[in-house]
A and B are shown apart, each in its own frame.
Chain A
Amino acid sequence: MESQSIHASISEVVLDPQAALDFVGDDVNGAALLFIGAVRNHNLNRPVKGVTYDCFSELATTILRDIATEAQGQTTPNLRVYVSHFKGFLPIGGISVVIATASPHRDDAYVANRYIIEQIKLRLPVWKHEHYTDGQEVWLDGTAVTPSQ
């Protein structure tokens, strides 16, 4: 889902941070910020070997776009946003989410980028199925969603 200033997507192929930076680049913007979420090798004192991300892709794409639009509304119309979340299995170090924001001045890029990742944590219909080195696996606890969010 893409407009002139927002790219929002769910991806089943490896996420590309450079593509995110390329999308938000614009001569009017003097600041660009890149957030990368990655799979870490531990969680709650358990060694992790990977995470499978389940996703309701149709709804998630809409919600990602809504979040990016809200970030624009809270900062500047010049804000450019690239946000993409991965769906599928990732090993340690795999990139689960990429958020690039760019704006004329740095504060808006920082504020928008932080807003987007925090809203993803609260609202995006994505679920982590964590795989441990001992062979066990578990769906992680999460945040209940409501229509008002």
Chain B
Amino acid sequence: MIEIEVRFFGTFRRYDDIAPLRLRFAAPVAMDAVRAQIADALMAHDQDFDPKGIFAVTALATERAILPADHVFEESGNIALIPPVSGG
């Protein structure tokens, strides 16, 4: 089993009361499965959470890079939800 910790930024700061979200998976685990479990956890916490809303256009990232859609998680680690950005 691996454990993935999820941090929140931007509009997802509303979930800071459950941050970091800790999820366990049998490794290796694909991006889609990780996203689905994150969505399930947020829906369980917030009945208004819509996985087809901003979450659908939210990327996952490590401290080093935005992760591609075909990324496979093989080790425990930390990631973050990256909603659409608005810097500058």
Contacts and interface: CB of A to CB of B under 8 A. Distances in A.
Co-complex (A, B)? yes
B85 A59 contact: no
3 cross-chain pairs, A with B, having the tightest CB-CB distances, nearest first: A126-B87, A127-B10, A142-B84
B41 interface: no
A33 B37 CA distance: 47
Interface string B49-88: 0000000011101111111100000000000101111111
Given A141-B84, A145-B84, A147-B67, 13 more contacts: A56-B80, A59-B63, A85-B88, A96-B88, A120-B88, A124-B87, A125-B9, A126-B85, A127-B10, A128-B87, A129-B10, A141-B86, A143-B86
Contacts of A96: 87-88
Contacts of A125: 9, 61, 80, 82, 85, 87
Q: Secondary structure of the A side of the interface?
A: mixed
Interface residues of A, number: 33
B66 to A, nearest CB: 5
Nearest to A35: B88
A34 to B, nearest CB: 15
Interface string A124-144: 111111000000000111111
Given A54-B10, A127-B10, A143 B65 contact: no
A120 B88 CA distance: 6
B69 to A, nearest CB: 8
A56 B82 contact: yes
A42 interface: no
A139 B11 contact: yes
Contact of B83 (A37, A117, A121, A127): A127
A129 B13 CA distance: 11
A121 B84 CA distance: 10
A97 B86 CA distance: 12
B78 to A, nearest CB: 10
Nearest to B81: A56
A145 B63 contact: no
